[in-house]
Amino acid sequence: MTETQLDLGRKEWVTLGVLALGLSMVVLDGTIVSVSLPVIIDDLQLNFTQAQWINSIYAVVLAALLITSGRLGDRLGRRWMFAVGVVVFLVGSVLAARAHSAWPLILGRIVQGVGAAGVMPGTLATVNALFRGRDRAIAFAVWGSVISGVAAIGPLLGGWLTTYYTWPWIFLVNLPLGALVLIGLVLFVPETRMGKTAPGLDVDGFLLSAAGFALLVFGLIEGQTYGWWKPLREFPLAGWNWPATAPISPIPLLVLLGALALVLFLRWERHRMLIGRSALLNPALFSIPSFRWGNITAFMVALGEFGLLFVLPLFMVNVLGFSTLGAGYVLAAMAVGAFLAAGVAEGLVRKYGPVRVVQLGLAFEAVAVALTALFVTPHLSGWWLAVLLIGYGIGLGMASAQLTGTVLADVPPESSGQGSATQSTVRQVGSAFGTAVVGALLSAALAHDLPRQLGKVPGLKSSDADTLATATRESAGGAISGVREHHGAAAILDALTRAFTDATRTTLLAGALFLLIGLAAATRIPNRPYTGTSEAEDTAQSS
């Protein structure tokens, strides 16, 4: 199988701009919601679990469909799949903007995820098809920089739109962007597809992978609702209720089923490759060290980033009393850091190689998150938090910009479509798990810290303390704002803010641990001097 070869000259850089704009649109929607979430929670009266779903369902759907849409793009044409994805994404944006309750908003986010799945793999696969040699390394760096930079800018744009307009505008802003992308697709982006494909459609592989991802994330998010081990309430299941008196909660069984589905998916994909049928994933790609360890690193980077973007806006708005715009300004410090990283990354890459820059970036990220955890207090200065996040942004910019090229460096050109779709999927799975895992940790920490701090308030009845703790946890901290407006409740407010701060510290330390795991994985990626070409291309050129 060979990629369509195209000689476009300077036009390919305009093409890269159009692809980057489309990628920016779908990445933006992964983070623009985070800083607006406290306002959405208050306006739509959401509980903690619904807030998690709104933040994570987009990434869950995107992850479940990325490989499938990437393979369809290889067959039918990547530009065509890209255009369909943009249209579906815009429909989902309108549905989300018109939502007046939790579930219509979640439905809109699902439709957005379906559309984004048509956009994202086409961008990277087209870059892989159009660029060669040093130009490809530059294009990969641009692709990775867009992901880290736009993800960091998203909260600022979300805060601005929510403050000066209303929260539905965080979705409506996609309409003009989508129109520009569609015009650019028609004028500047050539059609590319895989020259030869294996027969058949891997429907079973799609169902197994989608079920596996969905069950795992569902278990992580809903564990706090239905009980991690012992049932807390009835669980409706296909017309039958799992009783609250059962000896075990359904959550661990669902997580086990999700893990089993993913194991079966890998075995099924290996079988499909052996018999020469079309497969969503070639497991043999993971025998390439740079692809295997690079994907693990990318997963941990995304998990840490999106976990951070879920927790910090809740902390800043509910505990520090910031407006959504103020929280957006602080989070924009990450974009400042990513911009600073772009200025020095190329020189470091040339001197030490891309893998060393990835490792250095991860070290920056882990240290910055750990320091944030150590310094976080109910009276933390926004300026000081922004300084810490600049350090995190520097690391994020260095790691993300180089990870794309590092992961795909040794993937053969005929497998570039699968490789790029798999790499994008891993990032999105990390994003979904970031919200799910860190959200679950935050909920568990609040369940522990809220009763402990409220128990120290003189004269507060235990029943009242339980009510306050439950309301604060289920509103993801939103109840703190109501207490703040009630004069004469200073002791209760102090207890609530201290408890939420302690829980935030716990999640930040967990995030630092995830990044250290990513750093450990990055040390296993083979490091070669920077040449501007992949090993596969070097081999082809020498022969």
pLDDT at 540: 35
Q: Give kind and range of the element (H or E) at residue 240.
A: strand 240-242
Give Cβ neighbours of residue 524 (< 8 Å, ≥ 6 apart): 289, 293
DSSP string, 33-94: HHHHHHHHHHHHT--HHHHHHHHHHHHHHHHHHHHHHHHHHHHH-HHHHHHHHHHHHHHHHH
Query: How far does Cα 236 stand from its chain's mean position?
Result: 29
322 phi and psi angles, rounded to 5 deg: -75, 155
According to DSSP, the residues that pair with 240 across neighbouring strands are 237
479 residue type, one letter: A
Query: What is the Cα–Cα distance from 513 to 418, expressed in whole angstroms?
Result: 30
Does domain 11-198+279-449+503-536 fall under CATH 1.20.1250.20? My reply is: yes
Identify whether the C-beta of residue 413 lies closer than 8 Å to the C-beta of residue 133. no
pLDDT confidence bin for 487, thresholds 50/70/90: low
pLDDT confidence bin for 213, thresholds 50/70/90: confident
Running DSSP on this structure, what letter comes out for residue 200?
A: S
Give Cβ neighbours of residue 347 (< 8 Å, ≥ 6 apart): none
Token pair for 354: 């891309």
Identify whether the C-beta of residue 322 lies closer than 8 Å to the C-beta of residue 489. no
pLDDT confidence bin for 529, thresholds 50/70/90: low
Q: Which has the closest alpha carbon to 387: 377, 372, 376?
A: 372
Give Cβ neighbours of residue 158 (< 8 Å, ≥ 6 apart): 31, 32, 33, 34, 35, 36, 170, 324, 328
User: Which pTM was predicted?
Assistant: 0.79
**pLDDT tens digit string along 3-13?**
444 444 567 77
pLDDT at 462: 85
Lowest mean pLDDT among 101-110, 179-188, 369-378, 405-414: 405-414
pLDDT confidence bin for 543, thresholds 50/70/90: very low
Query: What is the Cα–Cα distance from 505 to 102, expressed in whole angstroms?
Result: 28
Query: What is the Cα–Cα distance from 229 to 296, expressed in whole angstroms?
Result: 28
Distances (CA, A) of 34 to 28, 64, 223, 324: 11, 21, 21, 10
- Cα angle 14, 17, 22 (rounded to 5 degrees) comes to 135
Query: What is the Cα–Cα distance from 331 to 204, expressed in whole angstroms?
Result: 41
pLDDT confidence bin for 488, thresholds 50/70/90: low
Lowest mean pLDDT among 219-223, 402-406, 417-421: 417-421
| 534: pLDDT strictly greater than 70 | no
Helices (H), 189-288: 203-226, 250-274
Residue of higher predicted confidence among 541 and 233: 233
Lowest mean pLDDT among 22-31, 49-58, 146-155, 162-171: 146-155
pLDDT at 197: 61
What percent of the chain has a predicted confidence (pLDDT) above 90? 22
**pLDDT tens digit string along 327-374?**
888 988 888 888 788 777 777 878 888 888 889 999 999 999 999 999
DSSP string, 383-440: HHHHHHHHHHHHHHHHHHHHHHHHHHTTS-GGGHHHHHHHHHHHHHHHHHHHHHHHHH
| 176: pLDDT strictly greater than 90 | yes
